[in-house]
Structure 1
Amino acid sequence: DWMVLDVIPVIPPDLRPMVQLDGGRFATSDLNDLYRRVINRNNRLARLQEILAPEIIVRNEKRMLQEAVDALIDNGRRGRTVVGANNRPLKSLSDIIEGKQGRFRQNLLGKRVDYSGRSVIVVGPKLKIHQCGLPREMAIELFQPFVIHRLIRQGLVNNIKAAKKLIQRNDPSVWDVLEEVIESHPVMLNRAPTLHRLGIQAFEPILVEGRAIQLHPLVCPAFNADFDGDQMAVHVPLSLESQAEARLLMLASNNILSPATGRPIITPSQDMVLGCYYLTAENPYQQKGAGRYFASMADAIMAFEQSQIDLHAEVWLRFDGIIEDDGDDDTVLEETKSDDGVVTRLYHRRRIREDADGNIISQYVKTTTGRIIYNKTIHEALAT
């Protein structure tokens, strides 16, 4: 019983406006035409019933009234589609509600919010994994209230109006204050469509030139992002609680594993894999400086930077640390013993000197400059 409408609800006039155009004409919402059809046919039916018109005419008018109501609720669903003056189908109540441009998805589920921005993403290879590059132009807009508050508190200006003028003039003091503001204030980056919770993550912003947001390449798989023109949205958490949540739970460095599979979602790809391969590869055609001895990694890298040795040249490096032996380098190729009892053993990839008591004096390993750079980079990254 409650599913059958006795009366047709009429939505407020603000939602079906009528606008006067130049020349005295009016532009009106399609709903007004659909409501007008219902009212006209309803009035005509009432008149026919008053004058006791033949049953066949009354029945036909009832059918037309039902069609008008159907068209108002969902035009084209049943019967012929009602069209306007320019042969365009009229938008019914269902058309207004449903779809991507409908009331729910456009206005209720998707809203424009303050303290947010949007820009194209580009790769930021020098960023740390928990950092993102934020354009200065965008950062000063997003953090303007915080900057104004700090400018007044530091006594650089007396009121909000003066602070805004200082910002518009791009005063150098403004950028110093902005650096202080963003230092401890994470921002959230989101890429649509957000299909899982790693589609929005927190980063520490770093001010950069240009108008594009810089993103660390390792976090791309989580966002399903690439750098062929993708755009991302920036949101600034305002309350202390939301900032703490962003820093503790949403920071990119805390989201290494996929919540779906439990496997690492931050994995090297493309340029990074190619770079690792190139550094550690062997190349018999790049052997300038091959066979040289170096007392430390720094000496070998310096010689490479001065173009004395090639990246893939095999050199001997003094290395006092532990070497993992896989058993392939146990065969002694050459062994010499000096008068003072010092023994020098040459293996395929090692050269060891021992004193008369069997204590190691020095140990050299055969490696390439690229592998030295790779090893140094890994150790420096693990130390930070």
Structure 2
Amino acid sequence: MAGSWVDIPADSDFSLANIPFGIVSTPNDPSSHAAVAIGTSILDLKVLFTSSASPFLTTQIIPSLAGHEHVFAQPTLNAFAELGRAVHREVRAGIQALIAADTSHPDVLRDNAPLREAALLPQRAVTLHLPMSIGDYTDFYAGYHHAYAVGVMFRGPANALQPNYTHLPVGYHGRASSIVVSGTPVRRPVGQILLDEKPVTAPSRRLDFELELGCFISRANAQGTSVAVDEADKEFIFGYVLLNDWSARDIQAWEYVPLGPFNSKNFASTISPWVVLADALEPFRAAAIPNSTPLQGYLQEPKDKKSVFDIKLEVDLTTPESDTTTVCRTSSRNLLWSFPQMIAHHTLGGCPLRAGDLLGSGTISGPDASERGSLLELSEGGKKDVLLYGMDARTFLKDGDTVTLRGYCADGNGARVGFGECRGRIYGPSSN
């Protein structure tokens, strides 16, 4: 892919092929507003589209945005998401054209020193915020190898997967109010746990991370209507983030019967700040894990369709002593269900989705021991130490530990599309 006049390191997640969108505040503008990430910089879209260059941009380069420039001054990306994928595609292409090394419009930004200096800022100079106003959050269980491994722990290999698992995308409704952006401290939750066969109220002793992919919804469907799987793919997906769905395994084990997770999941979920648009991931499509179960019609995708993505994922665990160990490397292609299938199933009974709703994939693990996307699997339910650098070990997380998720795709020709960091540090329980 052609280069850019903006400095983009070769290993940057934010190459010209990416152009992810986020919400920032800057030294000159403390209000939250939209930007895109480019290399180690951000391009402030509020500054760009309130400048004298805006009329030229919306008539000559991005005409579909005319009359909607205000979306980039909003404190979330919801209004931009609702404009639809065709507009997202044109905005992304227009920004790529502006910052390409061979740009046809150098006078708009590259050679316009006042605007360039006002709109192009170092990432280290800005504060990142949640990119969307999240009305609802649903977490699925689409990671086949995770579901199987956890099932083996509790039910044995013969009954590892519940009878419904290969028939429908299993999910539960999570808590949107506790979703936080990367870098936000995570407090160890207090809850009911079973100790010596007696329930007690105490801080969780089995705090875990979960490596997931998150999908943001771009538009609403009317209550009482369903979304076809093909329509979901083309019209309902805004973009993707990394998601760490922190889990208190001991609280979960005591509370989940019969209605599933509750306090074990609702204390915090961390997402990466930059939304990678659906179009940016198109070149990296891959086939999902084969499912031999005959599917109901509403879940059927073409047999040759590549419905998931080959995103290289990894998890780093950093101890309070600042020793970092990569404890997991896997790929998002280890999903049994695609996000369009999740959307089709979510809306089957007429559930209304809204722009900004977040869907989680569930923990993504691979078939090998080094590909396990949670400490529950890595430690085999707490029975085995996970060895770390610095002569340390874990079965579950300790206070002071930092977990960092990373993910990227690359084609070998400079088209690296990544998510940046999804990071959270564990602190002791609140004293309140």
TM-score (norm 2): 0.19
Structure 1 or 2: larger helix share? 1
Bigger-Rg structure (1/2) = 1
Structure 1 or 2: larger strand share? 2
TM-score (norm 1): 0.20
